[in-house]
Each structure stands twice: as structure tokens, then as C-alpha cells.
Amino acid sequence: MEKRKLGQGLEVSALALGAMGYGKSREIEDRSEMIALLRAAAERGMDFFDTAEVYGPWTNEEMVGEAFAGMRDKVKIATKFGWDIDQQTGEHRGGVNSKPAQIRKSVEGSLRRLRTDYIDLYYQHRVDPEVPMEDVAGTVKDLIAEGKVRYFGLSEAGADSIRKAHAVQPVAALQSEYSLWTRDPEPEIIPTIEELGIGLVPFSPLGRGFLTGKIDANAQFGDNDLRSRIPRFAPKARDTNQALVDLLKRIAARHNATPAQVALAWLLAQKPWIVPLFGTRRLERFEENTGALSVTLGADDLDEIETAGITVEGARYPDDILRRSGL
């Protein structure tokens, strides 16, 4: 699979697979199938995989650790710290916690669950307003010196936090939501990380499934599906936002591609240091998404997208999540 470089020389496959959707609860009913999918992805040349201690908590990291046992040298694993999780019981207490002592406890737990002695990319999952960013970066810098972590990353951090962290320990990657569905990073974040030489790993590159063209105004979401509470997925908003999917379908038809492939190809075309992070539970969807690497959007395609004048309706998260995450 094609490779790309993030910051600080970290080279990874041009697309990454996120394991979050394979189970954020304590039980993962299709765990064996998801392990098989992770292994199949690696066999097909993908080497960049994403998890976090908070997914479960802990069950997701354990699953990823089992999936890559015996093939650790073939993959690069990213995981995250920063939520207030009791390191004895696994209770997620709801807020953020990036105190140095908590980070050190978190990294030891992640190393154990991932069955490894180093983490390739260690992200702060959310900025902790109570802990100076310099202290967070300094702690990770020490972990890098100890060989427990190889690269430092941030997630959903603002420009000021990025600069403060980078001044202490150079940041390899920022993980934030970015897609044709969510272009918030463009005015300030992308110029900042480009200046500093930091790569971008956009999550939800397919707009939580909306940009695949398989969700319309009549779609129903279960109570345990976050999309049931996201304003952007309200029926009226979906009806308005269909214009974006229709645009992707028109471009996809010209390239013998799917809307999802065009949405990913658009991200890949923005900067050479962008590595989209998608999630899927099915091998056929994995192969569809990685097929985006064979879709080259021309200047006319990109111009058509930019000049379409389409505005996405609705917030990307419910108000309570925006408040809790400091977004």
C-alpha cells in the first residue's frame, strides 16, 4: 500500500484503520470477526491502526493487542490517553485527566493490553485545561526517552495547544475530524500544523457514514447509535445535506468510483501529509475504501467541489459532548 509521512519522519500507510467502531463497550460481541478483519487489513499492506484506552475502557486495546500478536514489527499502533479512567477498575469517570502521574499509569496499562513494549504514536485524546500542555508534552518526551513511546500526537487540539506542546516535544500528528462534511480545521489548524511540520490524521473522513451515500432522510438510528443525537443527522438536516452526497455521486460516476472513494480521494488530494482514518466492520468496505488510493481527482473535480456552494447543516456533535470535550 502507498505510504505517506506524517511529522517527525513517521511513515505509515496512506490510509489508517480505526478500531473504535469494533467495540467501545465492555463486551465486543463479534470480537473474533474484528480481529480477523484487522489481520486481513495488515495482510493487504495497511500498517497504521488506531485505538484508545477509553474504548471500553480497555477491551478495544486488548482486542488490537491480540490481533497483532506475533506481527508487531509489521504494524504501527496508535493509542490515546487523557480521559479520567480509574487505572485499577477501568471506571471511566467522565472528565479529562492528563496529569503526569495519570499518563504514566495509562501508558503502562496500554503497553500491557497491546502486548508490546512500545507504542508507535501516543496521542493526548483531549486537551486537559487543568494541566499545562508543557507538562503533558514533557511527560511524553520522557516516555520517548525511555523507549515506551516513539512519537507524540494530539487529538482535537487548538492551535495554541499545538504550539505549546510542539515547543517541548515535537508533535508527529494531529488527529481531528476533517472531511467534506467537517471543514473546521481549514482556517487555523491546517496552516498551523503545516508551518510546524505536523501530519494530520482526519477521523470520520466519511462523515460517520453519510458521505457513502447510503444514509438518506428516511434512515433510522438505534438509541445506542450516537448519530441518533447528532443534529447533523436530524431528518431535516439530512435532507439538506443530501446535496453534498449528490455532488460526490456525480464526480464518482466520472471516475467509475463510489462516493466514499471520492470523499477519501478529496482528503488525500489536500496535502501529502494527510492520512485519513476510517472505520469499517466489513472486509468489502475496507477494500472499497482503500480503492480510493486509485482515484485521482483532477483540477476540474476539485474546483467543482469548491465552487458548489454547499453548506452542511447541523452541529457535528450533541451539545453535551461538545461541552465535555471542550470543542
Half-sphere exposure of 308 (CA within 13 A, CB side): 20
DSSP H helices in 79-152 = 100-113, 133-145
Catalytic site positions: 55
Q: Is-cis flag, bond preceding 57, omega within 30?
A: yes
Which residue, 271, 276, 290, is CA-closest to 206?
A: 276
| Beta carbons within 10 angstroms of residue 228's beta carbon | 13
Distances (CA, A) of 142 to 21, 45, 137, 211: 31, 32, 9, 41
In sequence order, the β-bridge partners of residue 278 are 17
Residue 80 CB burial class (10 angstroms; 0-12, 13-18, ≥19): buried
How many whole angstroms separate alpha carbon 111 and alpha carbon 36? 21
Q: Which three cell numbers stand for residue 151?
A: 512519537
Which CB contacts under 8 angstroms, 24+ apart, belong to 81-89? 81/53, 81/106, 81/107, 81/110, 81/122, 81/123, 81/124, 81/125, 82/106, 82/123, 82/124, 82/125, 82/126, 82/127, 82/128, 82/155, 83/53, 83/54, 83/57, 83/125, 83/126, 85/53, 85/54, 85/57
